Chain A
Amino acid sequence: MAVAWIGNREVTGEQAARRAAELLVASSCPVFSLNGDVHAWRAAIMLAERVGAAYDQLDGGVLARELALFTGKGAITVAPGEMRRRADCIVIVGELPAVSRGWMKELVASPPDLSGGGKRDVFRVGTGLGSGKEIAAGDGAAQTLAALRAQLSGRVSAVPVKNIEAFRKALEKAAYTAFVYSGAGLDELGIEMLQGVVADINKTKRAAMVLLPASDDAWGGALVSTWMTGFAPRTGFGRGMPEYDPWRFDVARMIADGEADLHLVMSAGKQALALPRKMNAIAIAHTDKPVTHAAVTIRIGAAGVDHEAVRYSSRTGTLVLVEAAKPSSHLSAMSAIRLIAEALPC
């Protein structure tokens, strides 16, 4: 079974890594789009530092939105486990990622054992999980949160808020209120407004936000990037030291504006990669054929399937070890990146 390709020609992993290393050395502005487990992110960021690359989450717009609250404002957050045990009032704001909906339904239906007499009140802004009382004002979540925050603070809003009295009573009764949200369901300012609602409630009661990231691997990558460089993704090493700039190092923008001259894409997922025709590209992908328009393709296995992996879990709010479900001899993304790093000149 083929493990790597240069263009459409089958080669060994080492040959592909040597060609990838040549391309990286020759590139003046390489960019990385990353999607993978914790080990893959670590290896990729180390490689980025060596070759002066900028890196971003693959399709990183939603992650950037989720991170903006933490880089620009700050947040009152709590781990999902604390929410499960303490939150006697839960508000689901906006759409939640499909991967989280199942366990969130279980959580909402379960009793909190550390507060509230074993019963939860559930509200939603938007369709949420389809259960719970709806809080609504205006057309979208950002409008509803603005009106809700105004009324909870004793100020007027231009439109009434549906179920505001029921929510007020639930807040008064609750020992702990948790607001669950995702960057996929709220825009950047809507997320900041939600943080404001939580901060206001905390003047007299306890409340916190629980982020269910649109992609657990992306959030894991953000954690890795932060511990390795001090910054979240959309960081670049072009000047030798890490620089964080969510606009400048938006890899999709850099490619569109013609700034990048080499694109390394790492994806352990099953989605087909769409690479632009005009640019040199290195694909490290879970694929059984060369990726279209890639100068080099290295085949990798799926994290947690072909090999064990460490991944972020939004269910627990921590990193977890995932055993290989069907162990195979496929390279992991980390191994593929390390092959390339070893082929670089010292």
Chain B
Amino acid sequence: MSAIVFTLRHEPPERLDLSRLVPDVLVELTKSEIEKIEIGTTKYGSRVGDIFRVKGNNAANVVFEAGSARFDGVGTGMTSGEVRVAGEVGAQTGRLMRGGSLLIEGDAGPFAASCMSGGRLEVRGNAGDRLGGPLAGEMAGMKGGVVIIRGRAGERAANRMRRGLIAVGKGSGDYAGSRMIAGTLVVLGKAGAMPGYLMRRGTIVLGKTPTELSPGFVETGAPEIAFSGLLDRWLVDEGILDKPLLGRAPRRWGGDNAVLGLGEVFVKG
């Protein structure tokens, strides 16, 4: 059996909702049924067969041979298997993902990993705003799993995150870790203004001292802790770091005291 491969015929004329092109759905469909799936979001009314050539029959392994910023919802709700996109994707990549592995070889748009609860998402390029965050009306963002962004993340990465780990390789926009409930966010490179604003619990690890912290954060010294060593080792194993970042006694700020005040921001000591 060979992977199911979607080959782009031409640049999509509209944003596409690819949320159904995941192993859990495709496993029950024939090739002709897959080609009839509606993926358009406007009056164009595109179907899979209009946009992609489809081949292969192993639904556990799905490949998009090219990407587009108009590919929305790639990997939505997947629970197992592998999905790989050889290019960029649009909004809500890996949304509600519960398991399996999703690899984006280019950039990802806003709301990547939105409300994800398990599995692994890796983006080799940059991610847009509100990485892992909830959509309007949802109470919490990412609830589990691992997200690795090799490039930069936009504003409000890990917004309202409840559980899991997000690692960003090359900096982030303003308000990283905003409204975090728990979980771990690592931002190497330069983070924007006021990381952790409205954060209740959780951990933010920064590669550089932030230019501006909210007044709700208070420096609490450089305690010796085991967590930083464990996190360093994991980041090195994942190839995100060449060498340990935090060491045994990183600088620590506690906050956001405007809310519960049980969160923490770590920077190399």
List residues of chain A with CB under 8 Å of any chain B CB: 27-29, 52, 68, 71-72, 137-138, 142-147, 149-150, 153, 155-159, 189, 192-193, 196, 236, 238-239, 244-248, 257, 259
Contact = CB atoms under 8 A, between A and B. Distances in A.
A146 B175 contact: no
Given A146-B215, A247-B91, A28 B14 contact: yes
A157 B218 contact: yes
Contacts of B10: none
Interface string B84-115: 00000001000000000000000000110000
B198 interface: yes
A150 B134 contact: no
A45 B43 CA distance: 17
Contacts of B41: 236, 238-239, 248
Contacts of A71: 136-137
Contacts of B138: 72
Given A29-B43, A29-B44, A156-B218, A72 B198 contact: no
Given A137-B215, A247-B110, A259-B14, A146 B136 contact: no
Q: Is the interface of A mostly helix, strand, loop or mixed?
A: loop
Interface string B165-197: 000000000010011000000000000001001
A259 B14 CA distance: 6
A189 B257 contact: no
B217 A158 contact: yes
Q: How extensive is the interface on chain B, given as a class?
A: 35 or more
Contacts of A189: 175, 178-179, 197-198
Nearest to B69: A257
Contacts of A27: 43
B42 A147 contact: no
Nearest to B175: A189
A317 B110 CA distance: 34
Given A29-B42, A157-B257, A238-B42, 6 more contacts: A29-B43, A145-B258, A150-B257, A192-B179, A245-B135, A248-B72
A72 B136 contact: yes
